[in-house]
Amino acid sequence: MQQNATGSIPQGRVESCSVLVPAPDLSSYQLYIFSGITAPGIFLLDMYVLSIPAFVWTKIDLVNYPNKWGIARMACMLTRRDT
């Protein structure tokens, strides 16, 4: 299946960290993609969010992120917060 998307579409990457966050009522989702490596082996330092079901990409500004080098091969960790 192929899905068309709009917005600031990120470039292809491997070894990134991705997290899917549902809305409280499960009516929509946000897919967060953080960093990774491009095909020619360049380490990235960026973050994008895909809104589902609208399928709109948004680039997140990391200008104040403390690490200025690309990141990859990280472990994504999920912590649950009960409210």
Domain residue extents for the chain: 6-60
Quick one: pLDDT at residue 17?
Answer: 87
The three-class DSSP label of residue 36 is: strand
pLDDT at position 39, please? 80
Closest residue by Cα to residue 34 from 25, 22, 21: 21
Give pTM, 2 decimals: 0.78
pLDDT in tens, 15-64: 888 889 999 999 999 999 988 888 888 888 889 999 999 999 999 988 77
Task: Look at residue 80 and tell me whether its pLDDT is greater than 60.
Answer: no
pLDDT value, residue 33? 93
Helix H or strand E segment including 50: strand 43-52
Q: What is the pLDDT of residue 81?
A: 57
Q: Do the beta carbons of residue 41 and residue 62 sit within 8 Å?
A: no
DSSP 8-state class, residue 15? S
